[in-house]
Amino acid sequence: MPVPKAELHLHIEGTLEPEAALALAARNGVDLPFASAEEIRAAYSFTDLGSFLDLYYALMAVLRTERDFTELADAYLARAAAQGVRHAEIFVDPQAHLTRGVALDTVLDGLGAALAAAPERHGITTQLIICFLRDRPGAEALEVFEAARPWFGTLVTGVGLDSTEVGCPAAPFAEVFGRARDAGLRRVAHAGEEGPPPYVWEVLDVLGAERVDHGIRSLEDPELVARLARDRVPLTVCPLSNVRLRTVPDLAAHPLPRMLDAGLLVTVNSDDPSYFGGYVEDNFAAVRAELGLDDETLRLLAANSFHAAFLPEDERAAHLRAVAAHRFG
Ligand SMILES: Nc1ncnc2[nH]cnc12
Ligand SMILES: [Zn+2]
């Protein structure tokens, strides 16, 4: 039995498995430049974030109806439950769908149906975080934010920032993050994945991000490490993703142990599991094997995931008790 955990860095579009993409393409009459799951997997040889994002956005073409989004999320939740996930704070990229003519209510109501059923069906509580694409204009993010208001509080509990990092400052998103804070939403942002420490400072100081997604390059700046440790800012680290996108040379060189040693509140997550070779427990297993982490370090990482989650205190405490009681096989 995998250790109970929360998954806090998971793009729902990144759970689209090749077989599902082909089935949806056939059902929706979408032409894909791939004839088989093997051909899709053969395209998973990324050189950097950009080369991944090209395929990630291209394959989304198969997602067209509410049912498609419901099935996508339900399939993820079934896999996540088998990997010990008890709580998931899930990212979605609305602009990636709006810009290709799929309406916001198709996306959010479709995902919402699967998320509403998740506690009974999979034993998982969920939240949904709408991410803005940092390579698109801040004004567009504001439009999406306003259009999503009907779902605030019920389905949508937070905002995030993702897509291309280097060369795309976070400052144009200060206004939308301010509105999110005023609306009572939580705020997270990708930074320090490919970008150097100033990108992490910017999401903290300009956006007021409460969690940093990735943040692995923070270690290059001791003052930033001190700030993250002092404020207990969680970092949602995704080891298999970092290897596949070549932000680290291999798992053995991953900074996770150094981040823990520096006193950072680190969590382990899967990012885009269909593309990066594993779901969240696969990431736990990989860091155990390649970094030599012992059971108590894995227990700490699982506990951190609940400390870092946007959960009510009573639910957090119950999850932490389950982590403390877990016996590693
Ligand atoms: N790893 C990642 N970094 C930035 N944007 C993303 N969108 C999906 N996965 C991402
Ligand atoms: Zn991500």
Averaged pLDDT in 10-residue chunks for the chain of 329 residues: 98 98 98 97 97 98 99 99 98 98 99 99 99 98 99 98 98 99 98 98 98 98 98 99 98 98 98 98 98 97 99 98 96
Rounded Cα gap, residues 329 and 327, in angstroms:
6
Is 162 touching ligand 1 by the criterion CB < 6 Å? yes
Given 13, 66, 165, 193, the catalytic residue: 193
Respond yes or no: is residue 193 known to be catalytic.
yes
Query: Is CATH 3.30.2130.10 the right assignment for the domain spanning 5-325?
Result: no
User: Is 272 annotated to bind ligand?
Assistant: yes
- The model scores a pTM over 0.95: yes
Burial of 175 (0-12, 13-18, 19+ CB in 10 A): middle
Residue nearest ligand 1's atom 4 by CA: 163
The tally of CA atoms less than 13 A away on the side-chain side of residue 267 is 30
pLDDT at residue number 240: 98
- Residue 134 has a pLDDT of 98
pLDDT score at 329: 85
16 lines ligand 1 (CB under 6 A): no
> Which of 47, 135, 193, 199 has most ligand 1 atoms within 8 Å of CB, for mutation?
193
272 lines ligand 1 (CB under 6 A): yes
pLDDT of residue 247: 98
Where exactly are the structural domains of the chain?
A: 5-325
| Element at 266 (helix H, strand E) | strand 265-268
Say whether 326 counts as a known binding-site residue: no
Residue 271 annotated as part of some ligand binding site: yes
Ligand 1 closest atom vs CA 238: 1
Taking CA atoms only, the protein residue closest to ligand 1 atom 10 is 163
Q: Name the residue among 42, 111, 13 with its Cα closest to residue 71.
A: 111
- Which residue has the CA at smallest separation from atom 7 of ligand 1? 163
CA distance 15 to 279: 9
